[in-house]
Structure 1
Amino acid sequence: MTVSENQELQKAIDTLKDSGVRITPQRHAVLEYLVDSEIHPTADDIYKALEGKFPNMSVATVYNNLRVLRQIVLVRELTYGDSSSRFDYKSSEHYHIICEECGKIEDFHYPVLDEVESLAEQVTGFKVSHHRMEIYGMCQACQEAAVQKQ
């Protein structure tokens, strides 16, 4: 775990404490896994990664912990075209680019897009709560694999 990941984890734990949520070893492990994760794991991915450390933990425990973390807005549930939700630690506002071949999801941030909310409010009179943007394409690895197949 890098220094910045350690700081993010501590910030998230402080948020849990401030919201009155009990910090169980399993909840701590799920949160730590999400903070460390470069991917956007499914609940099953998290379960598989932690089952060696917590042999008595069930997939239901992972889902329950993710639900709690979602309710206090530490974790975002990502639902895309496939049937399984993926989870993302909400360290900052960002967008996602998704590979249509392998399903890989990468984060990116583009601050100018934040202005879209303000413009939408001005044009429509709505009170905007949030927005979500997804970009689809083919990741570098899948592009290289496609070239090799030719």
Structure 2
Amino acid sequence: MRRGYRPRSRSGCPPCGTCKSSRCTCNELLHSPSVERAPNDFASVMTLLREHGLRMTPQRRAIVSEVMRTQGHISPAQMARTIQGEMPGVNASTIYRTLTLLEEVGVLQHSHLESGAEYHKTDEAQHVHLTCSRCGRDDALSLREADKLGSLIHAHHGFVADLTHFAITGLCADCARS
């Protein structure tokens, strides 16, 4: 097995209950407040991957390049379409595995939205997703605003919630009025 590589579930999901896999493992780095800032440029990410014993194939280089160019959320399906448009021979599983590796080394984090799992760079501001179950509108709630909800959950249940991992669904203001 490659140095620094830990097998994860097929979904690449930490043990959040979504993937239901006994092989699912959690990347403690992602959940530690003491983690240094993730690299935010192509060269630094490539160096980090090499330090973890990973080969830098042309496919992996193209995927990392696209990740670093992308602002906001990274949809694995959209990433696959983009990369396969540039490099037709790249298998979608290579793209998914590379996104998972980037998460494992702390460059990306994933969250589960209405459209499925999406990634964002760990150096981007974290937020909670509010997704309308009727029209699909997605709005962001700052972590400061979400802390009130987290504090309420903790006060009543002693549970420390990760509100950034899943979207909170409901009705947006427009749909609630109609």
- Shorter chain as denominator, the TM-score bin is 0.5 to 0.7
2:63 corresponds to 1:30: yes
Q: How does 1:12-91 map to 2 (within 5 A)?
A: 12-82=45-115, 84-91=116-123
Classify 1:108/1:57 alpha carbon distance in 2 versus 1 (closer, same or farther; 3 Å): farther
- Residues 86-113 of structure 1: CA distance to partner in whole angstroms, max 9, x if unpaired? 1112225522444423454669565xx5
1:108–1:16 CA distance, 2 compared to 1 (3 A): farther
Please report how far the alpha carbon of residue 54 of structure 1 lies from its aligned counterpart in structure 2 after TM superposition. Answer: 0.7
Percent identical residues? 15
Unaligned 5+ runs, structure 2: 1-38
| TM-score normalised by L of structure 1 | 0.61
Deviations 1:107-143 (A, max 9, x none): 9565xx5xx89xx7xxx6x9x8x9443566759xxx6
Asked whether the equivalents of residues 39 and 104 of structure 1 are also in contact (C-alpha less than 8 Å), the reply is no
Where 1:15 maps in the other structure, the secondary structure is: helix
2:40, 2:123 within 8 Å by CA — same for their partners in 1?
no
Structure-1 separation of matches of 2:79 and 2:93? 11
Separation in structure 2 between the aligned mates of residue 13 and residue 61 of structure 1, nearest angstrom: 16
Q: How many residues matched?
A: 127
Moved over 6 A (4+): none
State TM-score, norm by structure 2. Answer: 0.53
Separation in structure 1 between the aligned mates of residue 141 and residue 51 of structure 2, nearest angstrom: 28
The 10-residue stretch of structure 1 (7-16 or 90-99) with the greater mean CA deviation from structure 2: 90-99
Cα 1:64–1:90 shift into 2, 3 Å: same
Tell me the distance in 2 between the aligned counterparts of 1:36 and 1:7.
Answer: 10
Q: Which moved more, 1:54-63 or 1:96-105?
A: 96-105
Return the structure number with greater helix share. 1
